[in-house]
Structure 1
């Protein structure tokens, strides 16, 4: 009987601290592929760990200030490590969109992949115009001789449905990573 009041006291304290601005973690929604992209050049692809700018590797969500600076939201956190999460999201989307065998590095199969994709992101944030922006460069390297390596720049943006809302930012990030997968399939894997 003495443990129950202690439990209620701890529960009450945790509820109070949540109301006082403790950080909340926001997952990126799982999106179904909006389109399929036919890829004939490869059957399997290894995705290297995605490279993010330093501010985008933090747990805190990054936003652009009205003055053009970048700040992070101390009470709005991504649910997962951003590098890991973007790499896994991109792997899933590439697989779903193309129908290829896609795995993130390290390659888990005995055979080698037909190609390797390296994604280097230079900008990933919610900007002051309420858009989620993603830009950088992709590199596709065939593992067999005779294949054609490719390098392409990308600059993508999607609107954030509710300005300043963490769930809307997470949804926009999910959409833009899916858009990046379509870009890679169309411009790097065909």
Structure 2
């Protein structure tokens, strides 16, 4: 039996994970039109903190009992904390004149301000909306801007309950969050 073990292992690896994977998507920004000046020249977006259920690979939606259940055979293309952090950094960078990057900060001079997002709820609910709630903190080690904590409660309509629609609504909710961060740091 032990001489068949390597073949069994190879067969299991070959089967792999064939579930479709979905990107947290948002409409692409074009050009520099609409860029706003922030009170900082550099901004680091810390990794988004998610509840355990939202940090998993499965795409979830609320069912009739109120339980969050995985959408059959649908996974996120990237780990949710990393994908959401990068999308926020990309959106803030596209809409502002600041240099923005997700942590770890890639430059030798530290960022003038940091954004720390802590999500308390991220769920495709039965009311037909994607809910994103929590708070974000702006910190500034050199006190270039006033430090603060701001709550957010965002609800974005779901065009359907498919994984693709849940991914699009998640992206739109994160875009709204990026706009709130920008408004907080705007000159």
Q: Which residue of 1 aligns with 2:43?
A: 45
Q: Which residue of 1 aligns with 2:22?
A: 26
Q: Give the 5 Å matches for 1:167-178.
A: 167-178=164-175
Q: Which residue of 2 aligns with 1:9?
A: none
Question: What TM-score does the superposition give when structure 1 sets the normalisation length?
Answer: 0.82
Q: Tell me, which stretches of 5 or more residues in structure 1 are unaligned?
A: 1-13
Quick one: distance in 2 between partners of 1:30 and 1:55? 22
Q: Give the 5 Å matches for 1:101-112.
A: 101-112=99-110
Q: Residue 66 and residue 46 in structure 1: after superposition, are their counterparts in 2 closer, same or farther (change >3 A)?
A: same
User: Quick check: 1:140–1:189 contact (8 Å CA) kept in 2?
Assistant: no
Quick one: distance in 2 between partners of 1:126 and 1:188? 29
Q: Residue 72 and residue 149 in structure 1: after superposition, are their counterparts in 2 closer, same or farther (change >3 A)?
A: same
Quick one: distance in 1 between partners of 2:44 and 2:175? 17
Q: Which residue of 2 aligns with 1:89?
A: 87
Q: Residue 87 and residue 119 in structure 1: after superposition, are their counterparts in 2 closer, same or farther (change >3 A)?
A: same
Secondary structure of 1:51's aligned partner: coil
Q: What is the aligned counterpart of 1:187 among 171, 184, 187? A: 184
Q: Residue 37 and residue 119 in structure 1: after superposition, are their counterparts in 2 closer, same or farther (change >3 A)?
A: farther
Aligned residues: 172
Quick one: distance in 2 between partners of 1:181 and 1:168? 20
Question: What TM-score does the superposition give when structure 2 sets the normalisation length?
Answer: 0.83
Runs of 4+ aligned residues of structure 1 deviating over 6 Å after TM superposition are none
Q: Which residue of 2 aligns with 1:63?
A: 61
Quick one: distance in 2 between partners of 1:52 and 1:152? 17
Q: Tell me, which stretches of 5 or more residues in structure 2 are unaligned?
A: 1-14
Q: Which residue of 1 aligns with 2:133?
A: 135
